[in-house]
Each structure stands twice: as structure tokens, then as C-alpha cells.
Amino acid sequence: MQDHHLIRSLLIELLRNNQPEFGARLKQRLISACIAQGLETFSEREYGYSKFSQYLLGSHGDIVSITRPEGAGDILVSLATSAAPATRIGAQAIPVTTHKKIKNDVWQAFANPDPRRKRYLSRTTAQVLHFLGDEDNGVRREIAAAPEAFVEIQPISGAEQLTWMREFLSSLDLRPSERSPLEALLASPYSSQLNAIFTKALAAHSAPWKEFRVKRIIQFIEEWAATNHIAVDRLFLPSPTAHPLGAINVRTEVTSRQQAIKLLDLVTDDDVANLIMPTIVATILIRSRT
């Protein structure tokens, strides 16, 4: 199992200049990055998660943001706007966290205006429970059995989030040829996918837009918490403990033999028997004849 802080630093490096990134692609890049550093290959199952998306939200929900497609398809992963810049040490980058972050399940409940999904905050645990409107499952029955223990979350409407996007766009000094494609995007109904495309299309203005959006969402959540008598601190992640830089053991040199051994972990036994071993044997035989 990899060190938690090293995985965080690799995720930040992988996403910094290439986001949003599809989940499957990000996982493959993370595996390759671990191998290149001479580390064990990555698997979310070693951390107790059955899916990569669950691992990202459960272990790194404060530094990544996940956008789910409205239908079938892969998730899109981005760095959270609040993810702090990293301090480089050799080949690794150590994230520096400077302030509190809204818990990811709370953030997603407010920011994703899916009208089919019902969301409730537990007054006891401050965790978000959700279910589809027509589902009859354990979560729905739990809430119905003790309605006073939960408060329904009304997400920020798509119309309001579109208003934010238009407000931000109007504040930019852009040429007509730059503004027109962005305005055309905002003629579509709001969705998480639309926001991801809009953010990427903003190019150099994407970081200010993320900061603008984060402030508006946090303000909305804080007002909702006050109205519903929820202590807003319960909606934030706990402050991370400092990670001593000297405690990080960074390996930057990997021999070809070590890298080959790591790569073998990624293939099946059948691939080893049918593809890799015959190639190795043939190479040895050819060398023995020369």
C-alpha cells in the first residue's frame, strides 16, 4: 500500500496540466507514475474501496472534484479549486493545505442539481444520504422513520448556476470571437458536464472562474446551514495534519529490471505464459548463438 501523501502529490501533478481527466485514464496514469517512481503498483482495493471513484472521494475528496455523466459513461476528475499549490521535493510534489474545505458529499449534494435525486443531511452524523425519487430502499425508509433527524438539501438550481456563469463571462474583457463560443455554450441547459466544458473553454480564465464559483457555492451552503440550524463547521473537512517533509522517502532512480518487475504486476498469468515468456526465451536463444 502506498503512502497516502505520496498518492495525493502524484494526483495533483497528474491533474495540474491535464484536467478534467477521465477516471479510467487517470487511474492508468497513476499506476504508471507509481511504477516510474519505483513504487508498488496502485490499487484502490488495498485501501478498502471497490471503485476508483470511491477511493478518490473517500481519500482525496478535498483535492479532487468528480463530475458524473448524466447517462452512461466515465467520470471526469479535476483538481478542486481549493487544492493548494504543491511544494516540490525531488521528483515528488507535496501539497500544502492552507484552509478548510467543504466535505465532498456536501459539496456534490448542493452543486449537482439532479432533479431525480433526493438528498438529506443527517443532523447526527452530518453525512449526506441520498436516493432517487422513485426508489424504495433502506435509505428512504431510514429517513421516513425519523424525519426529525434529517434535513432535506435543496441543491443550487441549474438556472442560478447558469446566471453565475453569465455573470462571470460578462466581467471578462474578451474579443467577440472569443466571447461568442462561450455564450453559445451557455444557451444550453445547465449540467455538471456543461460546467466542465465551460471551465476548460475558458482556458487562462478557468482558475478565476473556479474561485468565483467556489465562493458562491460556499456562501449558498453557509446560508442554508444557518437557516436550518446546522453548525457550519460540521460541513467542513477536518484540518489536515502537517506532513513532515523529512519523513518522505523519495526514490527517483529505477533500474530497467525493477521497472519490468513492476510492469509484470499489471498483466495476467496467461499473458506471462503466452506472450512474455516465449519472447524472453527466444531472446536468450538468439543471444546464445551469437
Cis peptide bond prior to 240, omega within 30° of 0? no
Q: What is the pLDDT of residues 127-142, one digit of tens each?
A: 999 888 777 788 889 9
Q: Which amino acid is at 267?
A: V
Cell readout for 113 is 442539481
The pLDDT value recorded for residue 131 is 87
Report pLDDT for 113: 87
Number of helices (H), then strands (E), in the chain: 12, 8
Amino acid identity of 13?
E
**Phi, psi of 223, rounded to the nearest 5 degrees:** -65, -40
Instruction: Give the single-character DSSP code of 154.
Output: -
Half-sphere exposure (Cβ direction) of 275: Cα atoms closer than 13 Å: 7
Report in angstroms the alpha-carbon separations of 266 from 131, 137, 271, 280: 36, 38, 10, 18
Sort 95 into a burial class: Cβ within 10 Å, 0-12 / 13-18 / 19+. buried
Cell of residue 11, nine digits: 494526483
CA pair distance 114, 156, nearest whole angstrom: 10
Neighbours of 35 (CB within 10 A): 21
Per-domain boundaries in the chain: 1-98, 102-236, 256-289
Q: Determine phi and psi for 103, rounding to 5 degrees.
A: -60, 145
Q: Measured over all CA atoms, what is the biggest interatomic distance in the chain, rounded to whole angstroms?
A: 82
Q: What is the pLDDT of residue 160?
A: 95
Which amino acid appears at position 197 of this protein?
I
Q: How many Å apart are CA 29 and CA 246, to the nearest integer?
A: 26
Give the residue ranges of the chain where pLDDT is below 70: 1-3, 37-38, 81-100, 239-276, 278-279, 281-290
What is the distance between the terminal CA atoms of the chain, rounded to a whole angstrom?
43
Q: Could you tell me which CATH number the domain at 1-98 has?
A: 3.30.420
Q: What pLDDT does residue 180 have?
A: 92
Whole-number pLDDT of residue 288: 57
CA-wise closest residue to 18 among 76, 73, 82? 76
Cα 93 to Cα 6: distance, rounded to the nearest angstrom: 8
What's the rounded Cα separation, in Å, for the pair 1 and 41?
Answer: 8
Rounded Cα distance, 132 and 39, in Å: 41
Residue 10 grid cell: 502524484
Alpha-carbon dihedral angle through residues 186, 163, 85, 51, given to the nearest 10 degrees: -70
User: What pLDDT is stored for residue 256 in this prediction?
Assistant: 55
CA 87 to the chain's CA centroid: 20
